[in-house]
Amino acid sequence: MSNILVTGGAGYIGSHTVHQLLQRGYNVTVLDDLSTGFRDAVPEPRLHICSLFDTEQVTQLLVRQKIDAVVHFAAFIAVGESTKEPEKYFTNNVAGSLSLFSAMAAAGVKKLVFSSTAAVYGNPVSTPILETATIAPVNPYGETKATVERALVWLDQCRGLRSVRLRYFNACGANAEAGLSERHVPETHLIPLLLKAVVTGQPMTIFGTDYPTADGTCIRDYIHVDDLAAAHIAAIEHLLGDGESDVFNVGTGRGFSVREVLAAVENVTGKPVPHVFGDRREGDPAELVADSSKLRSRLGWRPEYTELERIVASAWPSEQRRWA
Ligand code: UDP
């Protein structure tokens, strides 16, 4: 089986992907600086604690482990923080990625799956969003991902680095059987915060009720983290089979409003969600829903979690422990 390096493999989506890679028999090496990831999310001997900026050490790791392909998750992901500390985001997400790509060039590794985001589209003109939609990020986080995407297009042309860029919509849920879960600090995502409110009794805030949507709250495409992980496996297989560079949206294609997610949480937990209504959060587009037909038709991917309640239920056990 092929040897795969996963950067950021101790993080939320990274650890779920590592788990699936191992289940499929890949030899997996994880590189993580543990700045936001968790040591216990990765089987111990596979974890190499190292900074992406240490190009020399990363090169040696790629050579020593005879890496065939890299899955690159390691990045800062908080949109709000990125607007307050843009330099931190450009340094880590862009310069860190370039250091990795230099190491890959030095080690002769020519296949990469890159963790991108629907945030590259900014405020889309229409939804569902196709991969051909205009790239116009509305926050520094999205801009860092769009910048790396552009660099990858050139690295393919200039150096033959084949990459698949996956633009995630709203990652959520957990693989409870594998003991994996979402543990962002601070937590800013909707589903964990709704479940937190149920556990603690402290109200969460719904950001904005005056959006141009049916119930006035924002609509998002909630994609289970295991379905996201499966998209990475499909992308690796595409590249290992000598497929061309490409870009894909990863979402279910179905949107839910904040109020609908709240109702799903109440159904799953059997308890009311304490909540208050607040102002809009800066930089939130009204509606982000993926057109994922390209990923379905080209790579044969299908989401298994198509019901919001199943997604919420998968997160409920770990969120109960987390906020108790
Ligand atoms: N949201 C909310 N209250 C919160 C957190 C999020 O109303 O405490 C809303 C947010 O405005 C957005 C949706 O929930 O419309 C999803 O937000 P999240 O931060 O989970 O993901 P994002 O869409 O920002 O990637």
Q: Which atom of ligand 1 is nearest to the CA of 119?
A: 25
In this structure, the answer to whether residues 212 and 147 fall within a common structural domain is no
In this structure, the answer to whether residues 131 and 78 fall within a common structural domain is yes
> Do the domain assignments include residue 27?
yes
Quick check: is 141 catalytic?
Answer: yes
In this structure, the answer to whether residues 246 and 267 fall within a common structural domain is no
Residue nearest ligand 1's atom 14 by CA: 190
CA distance 320 to 118: 29
Residue nearest ligand 1's atom 5 by CA: 190
Cβ–Cβ contacts within 10 Å for residue 235, how many?
27
294 lines ligand 1 (CB under 6 A): no
Question: What value does the mean pLDDT take over residues 47-69?
Answer: 98
List the domain range (segments joined by +) for residue 64: 3-172+223-250
In this structure, the answer to whether residues 149 and 67 fall within a common structural domain is yes
> Do the domain assignments include residue 8?
yes
DSSP E strands, 42-137: 47-49, 69-72, 111-117
> Do the domain assignments include residue 123?
yes
CATH of residue 300's domain is 3.90.25.10
SS3 category, 315: helix
In this structure, the answer to whether residues 150 and 216 fall within a common structural domain is no
Residue nearest ligand 1's atom 1 by CA: 190
Query: Whole-number mean pLDDT of the chain?
Result: 97
Q: Which atom of ligand 1 is nearest to the CA of 207?
A: 7
Please spell the DSSP secondary structure of 36-58, one letter per residue: SS-GGGS-GGGEEE--TT-HHHH
Number of domains in the chain: 2
In this structure, the answer to whether residues 245 and 274 fall within a common structural domain is no
What count of Cα atoms within 13 Å lies in the side-chain half-sphere of residue 243?
A: 19
Instruction: Given the residues 141, 168, 211, 305, select the one marked as catalytic.
Output: 141
Compute the Cα dihedral for 231, 234, 236, 239 and give only its sign. negative
For the segment 152-175, what is each residue's pLDDT rounded down to a tens digit?
Answer: 999 999 999 999 999 999 999 999
Q: What is the pLDDT of residue 57?
A: 98
For the segment 72-111, what is each residue's pLDDT rounded down to a tens digit?
Answer: 999 999 988 999 999 999 999 999 999 999 999 999 999 9
In this structure, the answer to whether residues 258 and 318 fall within a common structural domain is yes
For the segment 240-287, what is each residue's pLDDT rounded down to a tens digit?
Answer: 999 999 999 999 999 999 999 999 999 999 999 999 999 998 878 899
> Do the domain assignments include residue 79?
yes
Going from the Cα of 285 to the center of ligand 1, the distance in angstroms, rounded, reads 10
CATH of residue 61's domain is 3.40.50.720
Amino acid at 107: A
For the segment 1-13, what is each residue's pLDDT rounded down to a tens digit?
Answer: 999 999 999 999 9
> Do the domain assignments include residue 177?
no
**CA torsion, ordered 256, 228, 51, 107, to nearest 10 deg:** -150
For the segment 207-245, what is each residue's pLDDT rounded down to a tens digit?
Answer: 999 999 999 999 999 999 999 999 999 999 999 999 999
Question: What value does the mean pLDDT take over residues 295-323?
Answer: 97
220 lines ligand 1 (CB under 6 A): yes
170 lines ligand 1 (CB under 6 A): yes
CA distance 60 to 221: 39
Q: Which atom of ligand 1 is nearest to the CA of 261?
A: 14
In this structure, the answer to whether residues 152 and 241 fall within a common structural domain is yes
- pLDDT category at 42 given cuts 50, 70, 90 is very high
SS3 category, 102: helix
Angle, helices 225-240 vs 12-23, to 10°: value is 60
119 lines ligand 1 (CB under 6 A): no
